[in-house]
């Protein structure tokens, strides 16, 4: 996407220390970037950054990474992060497509992946393979996660996509927990809303959420 309507975008990319311009060069070296051995969590499709920034603020003992496909959106996430907290030492953001995730991270680098309100695509034919919870993507995620623990946290307002995701995860051997079709009335207290989620909730839409986990390489 072009950035002409964001005259500050080039400056944000050039000067924001949380922005990673060449993330593929860090494959197998992400831990060194943060300078510690803390767990690394990734959000795929971070939008304007509200969710990942709040997580980084609440959990300074975890390293957070956010990826977003569109330049116009990632620059807004960078600005939001800077305005909210200056430079967060445990947060980095970059622009890439999730299809290339195995070229960006290596085996054992991530322990948790967040997928929030992704494009549901169409359920038929080749379109379903674009869903970020399709089994092909799940195999990629598993290949770059730690041996001892692998977690995927997923939220959507789209019930057909949620049902599809439940089926794909179970078929791939992931153990599901905290599954709800009405998150905001579920009693779950640790929720951090995204921008989309706040808007959908205000419209009266119910939010679906799940956690998927594999332990000890199983």
Q: Which residues contact 124 (CB under 8 A, 6 or more apart)?
A: none
Between the two ends of the chain, the Cα-to-Cα distance in Å is: 40
Using N-to-C axis directions, what is the helix angle for 50-58 and 71-85, rounded to 10°? 30
User: Phi, psi (5° rounding) for residue 46?
Assistant: -85, -5
Q: Is 162 exposed, middle or buried (0-12, 13-18, 19+ CB in 10 A)?
A: buried
pLDDT at position 82 is 83
Q: What angle do CA 43, 181, 167 make, to 5 degrees?
A: 70
Q: Of 100, 119, 136, 147, which is the active-site residue?
A: 119
Q: Is the dihedral of CA 105, 106, 112, 116 positive or negative?
A: positive
List of domains in the chain: 9-215 (3.40.50.150)
Residue 71: the pLDDT is: 87
- From CA 39, how far away is CA 53, in angstroms rounded? 16
Q: Any catalytic annotation for residue 148?
A: no
* Vertex 47: Cα angle to 5 and 2 (nearest 5): 25
Q: Which residues of 5-28 are buried (b: 16+ CB within 10 A; e: fewer)?
A: ebeebeebbeebebbbeebeebee
Closest to 152 in 3D by CA, of 136, 132, 171: 132
Provide the pLDDT for residue 11. 81
Walking along the chain (218 residues) 10 residues at a time, the average pLDDT comes out as: 58 88 96 96 95 96 96 89 84 96 97 97 85 97 95 97 97 97 96 94 96 78
* Whether the Cβ atoms of residue 93 and residue 74 lie closer than 8 Å to each other: yes
Backbone angles phi, psi at 164, to 5 degrees: -60, -45
Whole-number Å distance between alpha carbons of 147 and 107: 9
Strand-pairing partners, residue 118, are none
């Amino acid at each position: 996407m072009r950035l002409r309507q964001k005259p500050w975008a080039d400056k944000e990319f050039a000067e924001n220390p949380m922005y990673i311009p060449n993330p593929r060069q860090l494959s197998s070296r992400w831990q060194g970037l943060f300078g510690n051995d803390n767990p690394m969590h990734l959000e795929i499709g971070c939008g304007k950054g509200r969710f990942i920034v709040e997580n980084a603020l609440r959990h300074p003992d975890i390293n957070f990474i956010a990826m977003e496909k569109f330049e116009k959106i990632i620059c807004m996430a960078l600005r939001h992060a800077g305005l909210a907290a200056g430079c967060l030492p445990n947060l980095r953001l970059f622009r890439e497509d999730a299809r290339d995730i195995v070229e960006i991270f290596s085996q054992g680098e991530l322990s948790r992946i967040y997928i929030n309100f992704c494009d549901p695509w169409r359920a038929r034919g080749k379109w379903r393979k674009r869903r970020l919870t399709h089994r092909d993507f799940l195999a990629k995620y598993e290949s770059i996660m730690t041996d001892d623990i692998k977690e995927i946290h997923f939220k959507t307002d789209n019930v057909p996509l949620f049902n599809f995701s439940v089926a794909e995860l179970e078929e791939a051997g992931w153990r599901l927990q905290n599954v709800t079709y009405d998150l905001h009335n579920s009693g779950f207290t640790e929720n951090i809303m995204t921008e989309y989620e706040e808007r959908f909730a205000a419209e009266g839409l119910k939010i679906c959420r799940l956690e998927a986990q594999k332990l000890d390489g199983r």
